[in-house]
Amino acid sequence: MADTSDNHDLQLLDRSNPQYKPEVVTYPNADFLEVGKQRLLSAHLPFLPGSISDRDKMSYLTSCITFDSPLMLRAVGALLKCLDRRRVGVELEDSSVGVPILQFHAYTKGVVYIDRDTYVLQIFKSDLHPSVYKLQSGEKEGLSLYILNRCKSKSGSKLLQWFLRPTQELTVLRRRQEVIRFFTSPRHSDILKTLQASLRNIRNIPMSLSNTKVTDWQSLYKTVYSAVCIRDTARNLPRSVQLFRDIGESFSDDLHHIANLISRVVDFEASLEENRFTVKPNVDPAIDEEKRKMMGLSDFLTDVARKELENLDPRISSCCVIYIPLIGFLLSVPRLPSMVEKEDFEMEGLEFMFLSEDRLHYRSQRTRELDNLLGDLHCDIRGLLFHPLLELCSPVYVANNFQSSESEGRVKIITGPNSSGKSIYLKQVGLIAFMALIGSDVPAKEAEIGLLDGIFTRMQSRESVSVGLSTFRIDLNQMALALNSSTGNSLVLIDEFGKGTNTVDGLSLLASSISHWLSKPPADVPHILLATNFHSLLQLGLLPASELLSFLTLETAVDGDELVFLYQLKEGICQSSYAANIAALAGLPTCLVHRAVEASEHYRTGKPIKHIDKASSEEQAKSVVQRFLSLDLEDKELELQSFMKDELLPSAGE
């Protein structure tokens, strides 16, 4: 094989060919993700303006392609390379003519499209760990929809990748729902508790002879035994539920045999005492024989040490023979004060091995004989073993309905004061749709949810420092993705789009976006839920008349100067933002709120807004009088004219 520069073409050579010569092939050490991005930027894209810069091109393309997905970018890069190499669409053109890419369309078979911005619905939420010792690295799941994770085993938690891949497969959703309906029935609560107790013991245990712990064997036994309990329970449950049939058929009778085998072989009590894997007696005669040798080894080694001491230097008063797994039998003697250098450790007839804790360890003729006679008992025994392969947070929650179909307005515009619950309502609809698409029950008295192909959101701006874009530019990209990619089977949630720029421009962009959707055939219009404080959008009649369009608002009541939020959705249009009332509720000074209301009223009615000094005219008059009264008119050095000119007249003029 040979590598031909950037093309990476592979030429296969026949080994039987006499010209065949093996070659060492090296590939460029490049990040294919960056290569994919560069190919995308350099591709022939006729739908882009001709003078667009690379930076703006990248920003534009984020509305067509999810740059948060490395796999997608790599796939796009490889596809562009394939199209360019095969000259698809421009076979007869000059080689300088690039393959025109007219459109990008993400293909997601059987999976609902979920972009990163949709997770603003708090499907997941990471918080720093409360422990001060884990603030830098420790994270925990915050208040989010992932609270549905009530799994009793790690294997079950891994299955909740469903949260990342909502499905369009009705068969899959119905299978999940039939299981949920079964276990949420009160009459099946005892069965649920039994299965939960068994699932708590299910572990994924890596087994290897070299480092398997006693606790691993215990976990394995509990796992297999619990699996048997789950299988037996499932076989007694209704066969109409597919999951129960699968468990009953997939969990074979071998599980029961393995559980019995582990129970018969492993001595768990002795294993815990000795902190190593121990086999029960009468399982293997060879193991029992080796164990008997080990049990009698202590007295035997004492006799050997007594004989060794007779032949040692008279200065050595004691010695012992020890057994170390993997090393064998050694003679251990205390280190004498005169033994300083390594040369001092040498003794006739002994082979020095090592020094440990002021004891010298040697091999002798007798210890070598013990190695040959008894071998490495510990390793021999191990070699003979058996080895099997929001409502939760708030006491008051106001429920609101939602209905969207061809007969019910597909495009719903919600107005209402800040803090009235518009964003919460959007999140409620988005979360219920998401939960249905992963097969979960939903928090509603009744729900009928069709199969969606995507959920698009423009609800919260991601941090912009890392991507080098302004907040409004990111808002535009989110909106562009929804406009370009949504279909009649998509859910689109938009919250306060356009507020990141001046009022006229933001209002115009919002009105144009809604008008674009309303101009489509009814079947192609997404299910749109849009919250806005741009009341002029409706008051100025900027939207075309359409049966698909409906207007909603969150109900409020004014009690004197106090604004009361009722959080109840109703048809209609909010005529005021109640900004002053909300400002007062937020704790802004009363004088500031009153002045803001005055300035707003003057602006609305076209009256001039006059500047007000920090100090009132009454306070200024008091100040002038106080300064005048403090003068000593009998003082001959007093220059009254200067005081009148410098102090009194300027104050009076102001």
Tell me the domains of the chain and their CATH numbers. Answer: 25-108 (no CATH), 285-338+346-372 (1.10.1420), 398-576 (3.40.50.300), 579-612 (no CATH), 616-631+638-653 (no CATH)
The one-letter amino acid at 418: N
Cα distance between residue 471 and residue 56, in whole Å: 15
The pTM is what? 0.58
Residue 393 has pLDDT above 70, yes or no: no
Tell me, what's the pLDDT at 461?
A: 61
Residues 327-361 pLDDT 10s: 778 888 888 888 888 888 888 888 888 888 788 88
User: To the nearest whole number, what is the mean pLDDT of the chain?
Assistant: 77
Exposed, middle or buried by CB within 10 Å (0-12, 13-18, 19+), for 104?
middle
Residue 532 has pLDDT above 70, yes or no: yes
3-state SS assignment for residue 278: coil
Residue 468 has pLDDT above 60, yes or no: no
- Residue 489: pLDDT band (50, 70, 90) is very high
Q: Which of the pair, 626 or 233, is modelled with greater confidence?
A: 233
Q: Which tokens in the block code for residue 114?
A: 């979920």
Q: Among the ranges 13-27, 232-246, 434-448, 600-614, which has the highest mean pLDDT value?
A: 232-246
> What's the rounded mean pLDDT across residues 379-402?
57
**Per-residue b/e over 560-597, b at no fewer than 16 CB within 10 Å?**
eeebebebebeeeebeebbebbbbbeeeeeeeebeeee
Alpha carbons within 13 angstroms on the beta-carbon side of residue 457 total 24
- Residue 466: pLDDT band (50, 70, 90) is very low
- Residue 513: pLDDT band (50, 70, 90) is very high
How much of the chain, in percent, has pLDDT values that exceed 90? 10
Cα distance between residue 516 and residue 411, in whole Å: 12
Cα distance between residue 159 and residue 534, in whole Å: 43
Question: Distances in Å between the alpha carbon of 417 and those of 421, 497, 565?
Answer: 9, 16, 9
Specify whether the CB–CB gap between 494 and 531 falls below 8 A: yes
Tell me, what's the pLDDT at 108?
A: 75
Q: Among the ranges 67-81, 280-294, 580-594, which has the highest mean pLDDT value?
A: 67-81
Tell me, what's the pLDDT at 648?
A: 64
Residues 560-592 pLDDT 10s: 666 777 788 888 888 777 777 777 777 778 777
